[in-house]
Amino acid sequence: MPRFRLLIEYFGAPYHGWQSQAGGRTVQDAIERMIGKLGEPPVRIICAGRTDAGVHALGQVAHVTLTKPWRPDTLRDALNAHLTQNGESIAVLEAAEVPETFDARLSAIRRHYRYRILNRRAPSALDRQRVWHVARPLDAAAMHEAAQGILGKHDFTTFRASSCQANSPVRTLERLDVIAQGEEIHVLASARSFLHHQVRSMVGSLARVGHGAWPVGAMREALDAQDRARCGPVAPPDGLYFLAVDYPAEAFSL
């Protein structure tokens, strides 16, 4: 049976996250229902990184094994037609056939996130639920300097949700850049994998540095403490975007 890779974009505000759950509207459930409307039997789709309630995606990747030999462009267009008709805030940007060995989660070698902060007095009329509005001025340069102090392989217990189910708090943070772009500040994070709430926890703590409440070195001190109580306030989900996933070239070779 053919396996397909789906590149997916979604506005996360209406959903209780990616993962299927009882009593909650989720991205996974919506796409699986649309696949059912194509005459396929019930299936489970596997994504590269499960997102929380309210978190968005520009380049989520999932795989699914189907029973019919779909043309990839036909599969993409059919899914989008049903998603639109059913009022879902989801779009399938690409569909491609991949080998049976491809796994959207396990084959991934790097995941990328972007966090958007709107840093001005007035809130946004057009980007509500799409950015974190912070009215007080933030020092993006100080935030960036603080972020560089926690790059590398560390125990990220401080920036890990208490409900995180990962076997180990050790992760290798490859990138954490803070960039000022007009009225917005973007935080770009890359790693092979992240802990639950890790990006939002780091962003919330960096905001403390940006406000001057923490010195630049406090970010590394909080990390080294390996104590969740040392984390700053967790940033809201509104500004977080699952940006992209990297795979080795051979993962797509049929």
User: Which of 212, 179, 181 is closest to 189 using CA atoms?
Assistant: 179
Decide if 158 contacts 230 (C-beta within 8 A): yes
Element (H, E) at 34: helix 27-36
Q: Which amino acid is at 86?
A: N
52 catalytic residue (yes or no): yes
Partners of 122 in beta bridges: none
3-state helix, strand, coil in the chain (%, to 5): 25, 30, 45
172-192 b/e (C-beta count within 10 Å ≥ 16 → b): ebeebebebeeebbbbebbbe
Q: Which candidate in 29, 52, 127, 177 is catalytic?
A: 52
d(CA 60, CA 242): 6
Phi–psi pair at 156, nearest 5 degrees: -100, 35
Reading the block at residue 177, the tokens are 């850049």
Residues with catalytic function: 52
